[in-house]
Amino acid sequence: MAYGTETLISVEVGLKSYRTETYNAATNSFGLRADVDLLEEEREAAHQRNMRYLLQAAQHYDSNVKKRSFGVGYLVLRELVASMPAKRGKLQPNWEGPYKVIEVIRPGTYKLETLSGEAIKNTWHASRLQKFYQ
């Protein structure tokens, strides 16, 4: 087995064929050197195709993601699994609250307080919150 070259089967070695008659060692080695010179370009082209594919896959995935953002004063529900994993059960509710957003730390990260005004010590990501409708 040889990389980048075609192999001859044993029948072609003993019999005359077009491939064995037109074989030229100098031309063959020149062609192999040219292939080695172009190898880096082929790798770069394959890398570019892979990057385009990954970008398209990310865009397709992101098209189905619903962005959640909340402002100060919004009422939200907090995911129970994130706040108290030990209290998770089959018949337990999935969300608890409502809580009030008191500060936007950065887009997607919020500081909450209870409706009685007691601040919650942790910050919460938007993926763990849901808008509360009255």
Helices and strands (H and E) in the chain: how many: 4, 5
Q: Which residues contact 72 (CB under 8 A, 6 or more apart)?
A: 101, 102, 103, 104
Domain 75-131 has CATH 1.20.1060.10: no
Please give the backbone phi and psi of residue 55, each rounded to the nearest 5 degrees, phi first.
Answer: -65, -45
Q: ∠109-80-113 over CA atoms, to 5°?
A: 50
pLDDT in tens, 20-33: 667 677 777 777 77
Which residue type is seen at 44? Answer: E
Q: Domain map of the chain by residue range? A: 10-63, 75-131
Continuous H helices in the chain: 10-14, 18-21, 25-63, 80-83
pLDDT in tens, 9-63: 666 566 777 666 676 777 777 777 777 778 888 899 999 999 999 999 999 998 8
